[in-house]
Amino acid sequence: MNTETTTLPLPRTYFRPTTASQRRLLFRLVAAGETVTAAAAQAHVGRGTYYHWRDRYAAAGDAGLATPASCAPQHFRLTPISAALATAVVTYYDEHPHERGCRTMAARLRQAHAGQAVIGHSKVAEILRARRPPAAPAEAALPPATPVVHAPAANQTANIDLCVVPLTHDGAAAWAAASVSQAAAGAAPPVDPAPAPPPTWAGQVFGDADRTYPEQMAAYHTQRAAQGRRKPRRCQKQAARQALNARSDELRVARRAQRQARRATAAAWQAQRADHRAARQTPAAPTRAERQARRAAWAAARAAHTQEIAPRTAEDAAWRQARQAILQALAELTATPLVRAWLAILVVIDNGTRRCLQLPLFVTGAHITAAEIVTQLRQHWPADLQFVISDNGAQFIAELFAQFAQDLGFLQIRIAPHRPQTNGIAERFVRTLKAWLAWHTWQNDTELAALLAEFIVYYNARPHQGAELAGLSPDEFAERLKCSTC
């Protein structure tokens, strides 16, 4: 047994930072003849305080005890870099273009001074930074502006594009913008809701000055009780979804129990078959009566097993039907129907005069094909057209459209990816067309076709903002170009 005792060191006394009054009292007591220990005890400071402040008290008296001085050394450990050494750094930098690393230059200067650490790499970098002139702020190099070029003559270049508009519109406000691809993916045009009746609420009874306060409170209570607790549609859908999920869980649990029962029945039948085979293979030959009894028992067992598994087909069909009904109901709660109530408009604009050449309408909407576009363009195609600018839509990159361009002898110019500005004339025309249609009403494609014919006349006769047109309308500018070439 270990009887040695461990002696713990005594805790060291902690003294708070001393104040100026404590330090002055300490030195006055020592000057009066007290010992350092006795003076420190009366001033409530440690003995080390006297020795720490003794030099400052001897140099400045009570003023030296006012504030603590920094314990950091008051001199630089490194000698300042002389002007000659700084010049040597710059000279070496200029004369050795392949050895301009700061560490390499510091090592070379130390070698030149017999290995003495005359300069460090950080000081070399500081000298070189001070030597460099302040760098002017670099201006962002802007790419040269691409000039905007238009066709110099009429019917030389055409801009074409596709846009979609709703099947019906009441002219109350603009509809949400949608591209052809978005409409093909199922984007639905907004449906204008029926005008809502003026809102009513139970608190309106307090605005009836003919009623007294108790009558108002009673009427408010009656209306609130009649209204009951209103449940938002979202909560109703959530409750319906929870009920369907509960039915699905119940169906799954019942199906699992049914399968477990079937497995147990199958295991018992397999064991019965194994016993029957073993009985038939016994070496002792049974009598004829025993064989007949065994065959009758086995036939009865097989008939019972067949009768037991017969309803399984109907049970499986009922389970599939119930499961399909639940899945269909869940899909109806969450799925969004695919709405295709769109009409497609093909925009054909003359690049030189900005005249709208044609606006054919397609009832196929977002599912318009290249064959429909080519068929419509063949009917009213300018004979002298040389170029056609289009985007990279599926209808314009189809082989049928390329064959159409080859047959009529024009060159198709497709825009670069993510650069719709190349076909900016058609894009801006689509915006103008949609803004004009937003304030008109149509209920079918026939009414919309009449509006498009009206818009062509309106657009070609109004002043245009194009720089080349100088405020003229497309028709006027086309006549001016025609007269200048006569």
- For Cα atoms 141, 144, 150, give the angle at the middle one, nearest 5 degrees: 160
* Residue whose C-alpha is closest to residue 393's, from 448, 346, 343: 346
Per-residue pLDDT of the chain (486 residues; tens, 9 = 90+): 455 555 666 666 565 788 888 888 899 999 998 898 999 888 888 888 899 888 888 888 888 888 776 555 555 555 678 888 888 888 888 888 777 788 888 888 888 888 888 888 888 888 888 877 655 555 555 566 666 777 778 888 888 888 888 888 876 655 666 777 667 666 666 655 556 667 776 667 767 778 777 777 777 667 756 655 445 566 777 788 888 888 888 888 898 988 899 899 889 888 888 888 887 777 665 677 877 888 888 888 888 888 888 888 888 889 888 888 888 887 777 654 434 578 999 999 998 888 999 999 998 888 888 999 999 998 888 888 889 989 988 889 899 999 999 999 899 888 887 888 888 899 999 999 998 998 889 988 899 999 999 999 999 998 887 777 778 889 888 888 877 766
* Pairwise CA distance, residues 136 & 245, whole Å: 69
Give the pLDDT confidence score for residue 203 in this predicted structure: 67
pLDDT score, position 466? 75
pLDDT at 345: 93
Q: What is the pLDDT of residue 455?
A: 94
Q: What is the pTM of this model?
A: 0.45
| CA end-to-end distance (rounded Å), the chain | 129
* pLDDT at residue 364 in the model: 86
Query: How many other CB atoms are found less than 10 A from the CB of residue 50?
Result: 20
Say which residue the tokens 């009366």 belong to: 42
Rounded Cα gap, residues 399 and 415, in angstroms: 17
Residue type, 177: A
In angstroms, the CA 294 to CA 288 distance is 10
Exposed (0-12), middle (13-18) or buried (19+): which is 452, by Cβ within 10 Å?
buried
The pLDDT, as a whole number, for residue 244 is 86
Contact predicate 177/435, CB 8 Å: no
8 Å CB contact between 161 and 359: no
DSSP state, residue 169: B
The residue among 336, 335, 330 whose CA lies nearest residue 242 is: 330
Cα–Cα distance measured from residue 79 to residue 114, given in angstroms and rounded to the nearest whole number = 17
